[in-house]
Amino acid sequence: MEPATSSHGLDELVACHDCDLLHRREPLERGERARCSRCNAFLYRRPKDMLHRTLAYTAASLVLFLVANAFPFMEFKIAGRTQVGHMITGAAELWGEGYAFLSFMVIFTSVIAPLFMILCLGYLTAPLIMGWRPPGMITVNRLIGHIQPWSMMEVYMLGVIVSVIKLGQMADIVLGPAAWAFAGLMFTLTAAIAIYDSGVIWERLDADAGKHHAAKRDRRLTGEATS
Amino acid sequence: MITAAAAGLYVCHDCGKLSRVADLPEHPDCPRCHAALHLRKPNSTTRAWALLLAAYVMYIPANLLPVSTIVYLGHGEPDTIFSGVKVLFQTGDVPVAALLFFASICVPMLKMVGLTWLLLTVRFRWMWRPKDRTVLYRLIEIVGRWSMLDIFVISILVALVQLQALATIHAGAGAVAFCAVVVLTIFAAASFDPRLMWDLLDEERP
Ligand SMILES: [Zn+2]
Ligand SMILES: [Zn+2]
């Protein structure tokens, strides 16, 4: 058997990443998900309008991210004195106290990883919608999967709520514009990540490779015909 | 019923593409995304055990050392994870106390004990309910991030309560150890390969 035809056969199969069982790919309805018949792991899906919806939520996330990092997050009022905290104040304060590891983990999971997700999702979806291929698509599509578990905004938001309740006993807490923007960001970025499907990007790359291959074959065939 | 490995196929861990073992060189890269290909995660159990043991070791200072100290009117009160939760229960913030109890005490324990058990079942080739064990593994992966809650709370308190003589909150060395436990268990869970649990079953039923 020719290698090309044997690799074509592989495209019709999909393996479960949790139990390794092979399944034949079956066409799905829009919005449907395929699951492993043995361990129920998610296999693949056919999302509705993935690129446009991901980009919409990503664009909203970028605006909210900028607001969340530019404006005061919380004000703490006690005995006539006011302390203002920004998004990065906690990490800066921990750094100042000599806790470099804690400082890094806080800033990485609450600021850097979410920003990275926003930039990567925008970098992939915006050009693809306009019909051109951004350079480094493969690397960016892989990186998204590796960074995503470290974006922990929803946990941070819960931390804000716990802090407000804890400090509320000893002082007045006023939430600033950044806190509201961050709450919104939590929803928009979670939605963008949930809608984004790396499989769609891989299929596009496969389709490009297929076209490239066919074009080369056609050139060769027409070349042979004219000579 | 045949697995990809039994069919002689690599599954790319990053993009899911299948490629034939026979078509590729000895240490192959994925033809689509260039990630390194393996039939199973390399040295999966050794790595997971090493990271897990490190997490157990760090768990001791994480619980013995103070995670934060509240200095109120010149009088310092160090809090460990456990004493912090206990104080919240006593002052009547039961929902917050329950939340922190779950995120800071239950979740790390569940992760470490759960992963230890999964590794033991693979080590001693126990066949017990692979589907339920796979669900447990997914749960461990999903729930792990929530233990960062206490670290975030400390960072926010440290940022806001800096009123020199009146009231100040400092982080403690226990928080560093606790954060290390969270990170180590996340890496340990990622190193474990759930397909090892199913391989035993597939060997038994050729
Ligand atoms: Zn499966
Ligand atoms: Zn790949």
| Per-residue pLDDT tens over the stretch A85-123 | 888 999 999 999 999 999 999 999 999 999 999 999 999
pLDDT at A121: 97
Domain of B73, CATH number, reads 1.20.140
- Please report whether residue A97 resides in a domain: yes
Clarify whether residues A131 and A158 are in a common domain. yes
pLDDT at A16: 94
Question: Does the pLDDT value for residue A204 go beyond 90?
Answer: no
Clarify whether residues B93 and B183 are in a common domain. yes
Clarify whether residues A1 and A110 are in a common domain. no
Clarify whether residues B136 and B91 are in a common domain. yes
Clarify whether residues A69 and A25 are in a common domain. no
| Residues, CB-to-ion distance under 5 Å, ligand 1 | A 16, 18-19, 21, 36, 38-39, 41
Number of domains in chain A: 2
Clarify whether residues B14 and B96 are in a common domain. no
Q: What are the DSSP calls for chain B, one per residue?
A: --BTTTTTEEE-TTT--EEEGGGS-SS-B-TTT-PBP-SS-TTHHHHHHHHHHHHHHHHHHHHHS-SEEEEETTEEEEE-HHHHHHHHHHTT-HHHHHHHHIIIIIHHHHHHHHHHHHHHHHHTT--S-HHHHHHHHHHHHHHGGGGGHHHHHHHHHHHH-EETTTEEEEE-HHHHHHHHHHHHHHHHHHH--THHHHHHHHHH--
Among residues A31, A46, A61, which one ends one of the domains?
Answer: A46
Clarify whether residues B47 and B35 are in a common domain. no
- Please report whether residue A204 resides in a domain: no
Clarify whether residues A89 and A180 are in a common domain. yes
Name beta bridge partners: B68: B79, B171
The vertex-B63 CA angle with B57 and B67, nearest 5°, equals 120
pLDDT at B52: 97
Cβ <8 Å between A79 and B166: yes
Clarify whether residues B175 and B97 are in a common domain. yes
Note down the domain range covering A65.
50-197
Clarify whether residues A80 and A153 are in a common domain. yes
Ligand closest in space to the Cα of B15? 2
Name beta bridge partners: B93: none
Rounded to two decimals, the ipTM of the complex is 0.91
Question: pLDDT digits over A3-35, tens only?
Answer: 333 444 788 899 999 999 999 998 888 888 999
Clarify whether residues A55 and A36 are in a common domain. no
Clarify whether residues B95 and B26 are in a common domain. no
Cβ <8 Å between A145 and B14: yes
pLDDT at A8: 47
Share of chain A above pLDDT 70, in %: 92
Centre of ligand 2 to C-alpha A16, Å, is 14
Query: B-chain residues within 8 Å CB-CB of A15?
Result: 3-4, 9, 11, 16, 18
Clarify whether residues B29 and B49 are in a common domain. no
| Residues, CB-to-ion distance under 5 Å, ligand 2 | B 12, 14-15, 17, 30, 32-33, 35
CA dihedral A129, A135, A136, A140 (to 10 degrees): -30
Cβ <8 Å between B195 and A202: no
Note down the domain range covering B184.
43-204
Clarify whether residues B24 and B59 are in a common domain. no
Clarify whether residues A187 and A97 are in a common domain. yes
Residue carrying structure tokens 């923007």:
A181
Clarify whether residues B83 and B118 are in a common domain. yes
Clarify whether residues B13 and B53 are in a common domain. no
Number of domains in chain B: 2
Clarify whether residues B50 and B34 are in a common domain. no
pTM of the complete model? 0.90
Measured over the CA atoms of residue B179, residue B181, residue B186 and residue B191, the dihedral's sign is positive
Cβ <8 Å between A18 and B130: no
pLDDT at A21: 93
Contact A129, B20 (CB under 8 A): no
The closest alpha carbon to A81, from A172, A15, A162, belongs to A172
Clarify whether residues A23 and A125 are in a common domain. no
Clarify whether residues B31 and B133 are in a common domain. no
pLDDT in tens, chain B (206 residues): 789 998 999 999 999 999 999 888 888 999 999 999 999 999 999 999 999 999 999 999 999 999 999 887 778 889 999 998 998 888 878 889 999 999 999 999 999 999 999 999 999 988 889 899 999 999 999 999 999 999 999 999 998 887 766 778 899 999 999 999 999 999 999 999 999 999 988 777 65
pLDDT at A194: 94
